[in-house]
Amino acid sequence: MSSIADIPQMKATTLTVMATRAEDQDLVFNIAQSTAEDQSNMQSTKEDRVLPCFGWHPWFSHHIIDDQGASSETAAGSKKDHYRKVLTPAPDDEEFLSSLPDPRTLSQLLSETRTRLQKFPSALVGEVGLDRAFRLPQAWTQDEAESRDAQMTPGSREGRKLSPYRVQIDHQKAILKAQLRLAGELGRPVSVHSVQAHGAVFDVFKELWAGHERKILSRRQRQRRLSIEDAHAESDAEDEAVGNSAKRNDTPLPYPPRICMHSYSGPVEQLKQFLNPSNPSDVYFSFSSVINFGTSSSRKVIEVIKALPEDRLLIESDLHTAGQQMDDLLEEVARQVCDLRGWPLRQGVQRLGDNWRRFVFG
């Protein structure tokens, strides 16, 4: 939060700011609201400085009681019973269990998130997803609590040692599915986190897509369909002229219209699954210098970036601090992607910007 004042001076036109946990849902909402008001007062013609995104990250999914569906929990159980059920191995450390926050219900989370999304018609759902590698941090020691950086928003690890406990993958899936369905209900794009879980994430998508797959047409069928759509377009234009145009595609669906696999670290072979033309959601892939470059997996990322369709590539900073450092990281990854794709820098940056607008606004 200490870097928020730097946003108006940034080169980046719009920051797609992700909420991840209880502590920052309202913070993201308030930042988006205040920056929009500032722009209105200045009569700015630029796009909104902050595009808010509301969601519950898999690192914090154990804070949620699944009170929906066939395998739902009841909210009547104790806090410790809940955490013993959703964490693996089941914790028997009483001090650790006591240090965890009181859980809230999934229905409450969805209601609050829906309200926030409705306040911002262009807001996204995110950051959500699955993570098999994440382990919960240990409880704060007194020394750690007294010496923590007060500029950091509470709720994150902040350098604490890791415990042996992970969040059950089935529980993570339940929280993810519910948020993806909410995105489908409101027609919002989604930012998805995936670590060592790309197959499991795809299985969740596939389950929600079932029965809604796009029909893959032959070349002759596509040509015939185009001619029919041209005729319909003319008819719709006539209807609209007399104020009788019918709404289309306004039925809520159980999946988001567009999905971003953020800081994607999966293999190139899995792209075919995510990009299958029968998938009813358009899937994009975003890359950051912080996560994707300068690591042992850089070669794999390079293969993915070179193999992707140019209209499905996105870039990001994946940084928690606004200002010059974020601008520098965005420039760095833009140059890296343009170099790998052989794009002239100006045209490449324009293409990446167009991709972002299409991902966000359709």
pLDDT at 46 over 60: no
Alpha-carbon distance 254 to 259, whole Å? 13
Least confident of 12-26, 191-205, 245-259: 245-259
pLDDT at 4 over 60: yes
As a whole number, mean pLDDT of residues 42-47 equals: 53
DSSP line for 203-227? HHHHHHHTT-PPP---HHHHHHHHH
As a whole number, mean pLDDT of residues 271-296 equals: 93
Alpha-carbon distance 222 to 216, whole Å? 9
Neighbour-count burial for 262-293, b at 16+ CB within 10 Å, e otherwise: bbbbbeeebbebbbeeebbbbbbbbbbbbbbb
As a whole number, mean pLDDT of residues 189-196 equals: 97
73-132 pLDDT tens trace? 665 578 999 999 999 999 999 999 999 999 999 999 999 999 999 999 999 999 999 999
pLDDT at 246 over 50: no
Work out the number of other CB atoms within 10 angstroms of the CB of residue 317. 23
Work out the number of other CB atoms within 10 angstroms of the CB of residue 197. 24
What is the rounded average pLDDT for all residues in the chain?
Answer: 89
Alpha-carbon distance 89 to 167, whole Å? 9
pLDDT at 159 over 90: no
- pLDDT band of 287, cuts 50, 70, 90: very high
Neighbour-count burial for 332-348, b at 16+ CB within 10 Å, e otherwise: bbbebbbebeebeeeeb
- DSSP letter for 137, please: B
Listed by start position, the domains of the chain span 1-178, 257-361
CATH architecture for residues 257-361: Alpha-Beta Barrel (3.20)
Tokens at 337, concatenated: 């992607």
Given a contact cutoff of 8 angstroms between Cβ atoms, the answer to whether 194 and 266 are in contact is yes
pLDDT at 43 over 70: no
129-158 pLDDT tens trace? 999 999 999 998 888 888 888 888 888 888
Q: pTM of the full predicted structure?
A: 0.89
Alpha-carbon distance 62 to 286, whole Å? 26
pLDDT at 296: 64
Least confident of 10-14, 55-59, 244-248, 252-256: 244-248
- Chain Cα centroid distance, residue 187: 14
pLDDT at 62 over 70: yes
pLDDT at 45 over 60: no
pLDDT at 162 over 60: yes
Residue 63, SS3 per DSSP: helix
Given a contact cutoff of 8 angstroms between Cβ atoms, the answer to whether 100 and 167 are in contact is no
pLDDT at 266 over 70: yes
